[in-house]
Amino acid sequence: MNQDIKYGVGLMSGTSLDGVDAALVKITGYGENTQIDLLGFSNEDMDKGLKKEIKECCSPTTSSIDKICSLNFKLGYVFADAVKSVCAKAGFDLKKLDFIGSHGQTIYHIPKDKNHLNKSTFQIGEPSVIAYETGSLVVSNFRTMDMAAGGEGAPLVPYTEYLLYKCNKNRVLQNIGGIGNCTIIPADCSIDQIYAFDTGPGNMIIDEVVQRLKGKKYDYGGKFAAQGKVNEIVLNELLNIEYITKNPPKTTGREQFGKEFVDNFLKKYNNLKSEDIIATVTMFTAKSIEINYRKFILNKYDIDEVIIGGGGSYNSTLIDMLKGLLKECRVLTGEDLGMNSDAKEAIAFAVLANETLKGNCSNIIEATGAKERVVLGNITPKIRR
- The residue-averaged pLDDT of 122-150 equals 97
For residue 260, give Cα distances in angstroms to 86, 155, 209, 254.
Answer: 34, 23, 12, 9
20 annotated to a ligand binding site: yes
**Which strands form 195-201's sheet, in the order they lie side by side?**
195-201, 179-185, 171-176, 305-309, 330-333
* pLDDT at position 163: 92
The band of 339, judged by pLDDT with boundaries at 50, 70 and 90, is confident
> Is a pLDDT exceeding 80 seen at residue 261?
yes
21 annotated to a ligand binding site: yes
Distance CA 181, CA 250 (A): 10
User: pTM for this structure?
Assistant: 0.88
* pLDDT at position 384: 82
The band of 16, judged by pLDDT with boundaries at 50, 70 and 90, is confident
Span 92-116, pLDDT tens digits: 999 999 999 999 999 999 999 988 9
The band of 340, judged by pLDDT with boundaries at 50, 70 and 90, is confident
The band of 1, judged by pLDDT with boundaries at 50, 70 and 90, is very low
Percent of the chain with pLDDT over 90: 89
Span 152-195, pLDDT tens digits: 999 999 999 999 899 999 999 999 999 999 999 999 999 999 99
The band of 337, judged by pLDDT with boundaries at 50, 70 and 90, is confident
Average pLDDT of the chain, as a whole number: 95
Q: Could you check whether the bond before residue 186 is cis, i.e. omega within 30 degrees of 0?
A: no
* pLDDT at position 139: 98
* pLDDT at position 361: 97
The band of 341, judged by pLDDT with boundaries at 50, 70 and 90, is confident
- The residue-averaged pLDDT of 329-349 equals 91
> Is a pLDDT exceeding 80 seen at residue 3?
no
Range name among 137-141, 252-256, 353-357 with the lowest pLDDT average: 252-256
> Is a pLDDT exceeding 60 seen at residue 22?
yes
369 annotated to a ligand binding site: no
For residue 53, give Cα distances in angstroms to 11, 105, 118.
Answer: 20, 12, 25
> Is a pLDDT exceeding 90 seen at residue 264?
yes
Distance CA 385, CA 383 (A): 6
252 annotated to a ligand binding site: no
Distance CA 365, CA 373 (A): 6
16 annotated to a ligand binding site: yes
Cβ neighbours around 241 below 10 Å, total: 17
Structural domains in the chain, CATH included, are: 5-153+345-380 (3.30.420.40), 158-337 (3.30.420.40)
19 annotated to a ligand binding site: yes
